[in-house]
Amino acid sequence: FEVNMIRRAFSFIIYEIFKCKKSKVDDRYWEGKRVYIERPSEPTDVYWENLSVKTIERVKRGFYTNLIAFGCLIVAFGINLGLSFIKEAIDNDSNTGDTSFESFLIRTLSLLTSFFVVIINVTLGRIIRVLATYEKHETYSKYHLSVAVKLTIAMFINTGISPLFVNFGRENWFDAGGLMVDIFFNTLTISFISPLVYLLNPIYFIKLCRRISEKKKGDKSKLTQRQANALFEGP
């Protein structure tokens, strides 16, 4: 019985393949117009309130958000460049003064720069999420994709590319305050400080207090379903 069923299924598939090949109907056109078909999004994935926004409007909003994110990177680069000039000035003065103190001061500035990089990365994360909301994406998936792409590019430039350009004119990259020292402190700070920043985030504790308060209210809570989802989602 199983063999007969397999033969019938196989014969049906072969018949359908040859039937499609012999068919002269072109399903790509309907009434003289090209038909484009794509898999629809899940209903729960759709930003229903954003469907009325035109494509050209989304393009404009995307351009504005990219411009703002680029401006934030320029500001961060300018501050890093200023700190680099300060370190270079201290390094030049160390030839005539107490070199041990000057070296300690330069390393302290390098550590301060790495803290600044982490702060900028966290700030960029907040700003880019707000900007991605402004872009009015059709689905939540496109929103999260936009956030991920922008964050990846922005953090890569701020963490890896900016120090390279800042130290481009320096002769000794391995000295105190050089490129290698900056990269070392950046890696060290990002490895330890970034998780602590999210762990000790004051917004999280405020959110936690609101959760406890709303649970105590019970049926008297006036939160909508959307507000409740936003309050209780995440860690």
Asked whether residue 195 falls in the same domain as residue 205, the answer is no
Summarize pLDDT for 173-190 with one digit per residue, the tens.
Answer: 666 666 777 777 777 777
Asked whether residue 117 falls in the same domain as residue 195, the answer is yes
Asked whether residue 29 falls in the same domain as residue 106, the answer is no
Asked whether residue 92 falls in the same domain as residue 135, the answer is yes
| 173 Cβ contact partners less than 8 Å away, ≥ 6 residues apart | 167, 179, 180
Asked whether residue 85 falls in the same domain as residue 180, the answer is yes
Nearest to 81 by CA among 121, 122, 113, 120: 113
> How much is the mean pLDDT over the chain?
76
Q: 124 near 116, Cβ under 8 Å?
A: no
Summarize pLDDT for 92-148 with one digit per residue, the tens.
Answer: 665 555 566 667 777 777 777 777 777 888 888 888 888 888 888 888 888 888 888
Asked whether residue 175 falls in the same domain as residue 85, the answer is yes
Asked whether residue 66 falls in the same domain as residue 169, the answer is yes
Asked whether residue 35 falls in the same domain as residue 147, the answer is no
Residue 211 has pLDDT above 50, yes or no: yes
The domain in which residue 13 lies consists of 2-45
Is 122 within the bounds of a domain? yes
Asked whether residue 176 falls in the same domain as residue 105, the answer is yes
Residue type, position 55, single letter? T
Asked whether residue 173 falls in the same domain as residue 234, the answer is no
Asked whether residue 175 falls in the same domain as residue 114, the answer is yes
Per-residue pLDDT at 4: 62
Per-residue pLDDT at 232: 81
Domain count, the chain: 3
Is 51 within the bounds of a domain? no
Nearest to 112 by CA among 50, 169, 182: 182
Crossing angle (nearest 10°) for helices 225-232 and 202-217 = 130
Neighbour-count burial for 138-152, b at 16+ CB within 10 Å, e otherwise: bbeebbeebbeebbe
Residue 156 has pLDDT above 50, yes or no: yes
The total number of residues shown for the chain amounts to 235
Secondary structure (H, E, C), the chain: CHHHHHHHHHHHHHHHHHHHHHCCCCCCEECCEECCCCCCCCHHHECHHHCCCCHHHHHHHHHHHHHHHHHHHHHHHHHHHHHHHHHHHHHHHCCCCCHHHHHHHHHHHHHHHHHHHHHHHHHHHHHHHHHHHHCCCCEHHHHHHHHHHHHHHHHHHHHHHHHHHHCCCCCCCCCCCCHHHHHHHHHHHHHHHHHHHHHCCHHHHHHHHHHHHHHHHHHHCCCCHHHHHHHHCCC
